[in-house]
């Protein structure tokens, strides 16, 4: 826990310490950040708090960014193999099984939803991304990610 804390720069403020990257972003946007607004370090260097390296993301979005391509924990692996056998299916394992098959990044999901909203046909979007039309339909139904957190 202590090691993890050291990965971020802290700044002394009246009454204690605050994370420097949050202060930098607050100065930039001119208001305090909400608790639900997380800061992602774009180049993954948590000590690089230049404003151009910082991005406001929702909690779910932040989880999605860091999960992508990362190996699963052994606990989740076990849960997933049980779920594949049809035992112990949970909301988490269901969502994760779908996500593991998903080829889209959060940015691409946003792009797809934007295109659907502006009236582009799902077949056309599917062709552009090289996936089946049902995949696009499933994205719109929120089968992979909670859409509210993506948008």
Binding interface with Zn ion (CB under 5 A): 40
Terminal-residue alpha carbon distance, the chain = 32
Which residue number, 40 or 89, has a Cβ lying nearer to Zn ion?
A: 40
Between 38 and 79, whose beta carbon lies closer to Zn ion? 38
Where does residue 96 rank: exposed (0-12), middle (13-18), buried (19+ CB within 10 A)?
Answer: middle
CB-nearer residue toward Zn ion: 41 or 122: 41
**Shortest separation between residue 107's beta carbon and Zn ion, angstroms:** 14
Least distance between Zn ion and beta carbon 87 (Å): 33
Cβ proximity to Zn ion: between 9 and 40 the closer is 40
- Which C-beta is closer to Zn ion: that of 58 or that of 135? 58
Question: Minimum distance between the CB of residue 73 and Zn ion, rounded to whole angstroms?
Answer: 18
**β strands within 4-143, DSSP E:** 10-13, 16-19, 37-41, 54-58
Q: Are 72 and 81 in contact (CB under 8 A)?
A: no
- Output the smallest distance, CB 38 to Zn ion, in A: 7
Residue number, nearest CB to Zn ion: 40
**Burial state string for 44-83 with b = 16 or more CB within 10 A and e = fewer than 16:** eebeebeeebbebbbebbbebbeeeeeeeeeeeeebbeeb
- Min dist CB 65 to Zn ion, Å, is 6
Number of neighbouring beta carbons within 10 Å of residue 112: 23
**Which token pair is 24?**
């930098």
């Amino acid at each position: 826990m202590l090691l993890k804390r050291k990965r971020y720069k802290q700044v002394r403020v009246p009454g204690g310490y605050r994370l420097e990257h949050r202060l930098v972003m607050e100065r930039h946007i001119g208001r305090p950040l909400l608790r639900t607004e997380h800061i992602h370090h774009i180049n993954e260097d948590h000590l690089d708090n230049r404003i151009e390296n910082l991005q406001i993301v929702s909690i779910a979005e932040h989880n999605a960014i860091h999960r992508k391509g990362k190996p699963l924990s052994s606990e989740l692996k076990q849960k997933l193999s049980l779920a594949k056998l049809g035992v112990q299916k949970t909301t988490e394992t269901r969502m994760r099984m779908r996500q593991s098959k998903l080829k889209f990044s959060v940015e691409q999901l946003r792009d797809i939803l934007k295109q659907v909203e502006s009236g582009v046909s799902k077949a056309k979007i599917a062709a552009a991304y090289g996936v089946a039309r049902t995949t696009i339909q499933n994205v719109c139904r929120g089968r992979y990610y909670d859409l509210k957190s993506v948008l």
